[in-house]
Amino acid sequence: MKTLTTVDRDAPIDEVRAHLHRDGGVIVRDLLSDEARLAIIDDLAGAMEVIGPGSKSGLEQWELFHGRETIRFCGLAARSRAFVDHALLEPVFGAVTDRELLGGCTSYWLNTGQVMAVGPGEKAQYLHRDENNWPEAITAEREITVSCMFALSEFTRANGATVVVPGTQKLAPGLVRGHEVTDDDLAYAEMPAGAGLIYSGKVIHGAGTNTTDELRYGMHVSFVAGWLRPEEASPLHVDRARAAELPEEARRLLGWSSYHSEGGGRTWLVDFEDAADLFA
């Protein structure tokens, strides 16, 4: 069995990225303070109580992928100001994303922010790559998406910690739905509450098996190149009035600004002007 490197949140960004590039993922301690983590949990408690486990799609492939005992929901920026202040705008993850994505785009935005609460008895999710959401955009040379799995509760191998296949971010691009591995190939993102696993969109990974009688409470946040359509339609969750209450950077990440190509045109406009001007 392999291991992922764990670093402190004040580690140099170049060091964090070196581990990310070597293994495809790196764990950073204390990305969320206890106060911030508990505030997010408190904000999301209502949704946790009413949203049941499993996919609502009615599609067998999605039901298998989402997990029949896993609670998932999005729209976290609309449900929790603490999510915006402490996860969406988390500075370490933001600094890593700047370095990883901005070589291939002029800006990026939120792909999705979602709870992934793996329930007791859940089977391991099939292994996959996040970048396969956008097969037309994949190249070996650049990242188009970067993610962080925040541990809202402790992650252990027994309760379904994220499984990573270190080094697979270096394999040739291609669709991955399941991957032949042995235990020796795998690393488990075991980490204390408040830590985060920052990982490449190219690395093969998936949620683990939960053999305990407790919930593994995680929160996935990912960013995508600004010229791609995100998984989650954030402006449909966070309307204009709510967006007006948020910091400018949060509005940008949530889709309330336009994309300006390097030497090219502008997209996501309102009457030919930058969507950010709505808040001027």
**Cα 16 to Cα 231: distance, rounded to the nearest angstrom:** 26
**Cα 269 to Cα 260: distance, rounded to the nearest angstrom:** 10
Q: Which pLDDT score is estimated for 197? A: 99
Alpha helices (runs of H) in the chain, residue ranges in sequence order: 13-23, 34-50, 60-66, 76-79, 81-83, 91-101, 234-237, 240-243, 248-253
Q: Which pLDDT score is estimated for 178? A: 67
Tens of each residue's pLDDT in the chain, 280 residues: 899 999 999 999 999 999 999 999 999 999 999 999 999 999 999 999 999 887 777 666 666 667 688 999 999 999 999 999 999 999 999 999 999 999 999 999 999 999 999 999 999 998 999 999 999 999 999 999 999 999 999 999 999 999 999 999 999 998 887 667 888 999 999 999 999 999 999 999 999 999 999 999 999 999 999 999 999 999 999 999 999 999 999 999 999 999 999 988 999 999 999 999 999 9
Residues 6+ apart with CB under 8 A from 270: 258, 277, 278
What is the pTM assigned to this prediction? Answer: 0.95
**Cα 254 to Cα 43: distance, rounded to the nearest angstrom:** 19
* Three-class SS of 7-66: ECCCCCHHHHHHHHHHHCEEEECCCCCHHHHHHHHHHHHHHHHHCCCCCCCCCHHHHHHH
120 burial via Cβ count (<10 Å: 0-12, 13-18, 19+): middle
Token readout for 142 is 């650049």
Give me the long-range contacts of 89-92 (CB less than 8 A, separation at least 24). Answer: 89/247, 89/249, 89/250, 89/253, 90/31, 90/32, 90/148, 90/196, 90/221, 92/9, 92/13, 92/16, 92/28, 92/31
Which residues share a beta bridge with 205?
A: 128, 164
Burial 151-178 (b: 16+ CB within 10 A, else e): bbbbbbeebbbbbbbbebbebeeeebee
Domains of the chain in sequence order:
6-233 (2.60.120.620)
**Cα 260 to Cα 279: distance, rounded to the nearest angstrom:** 18
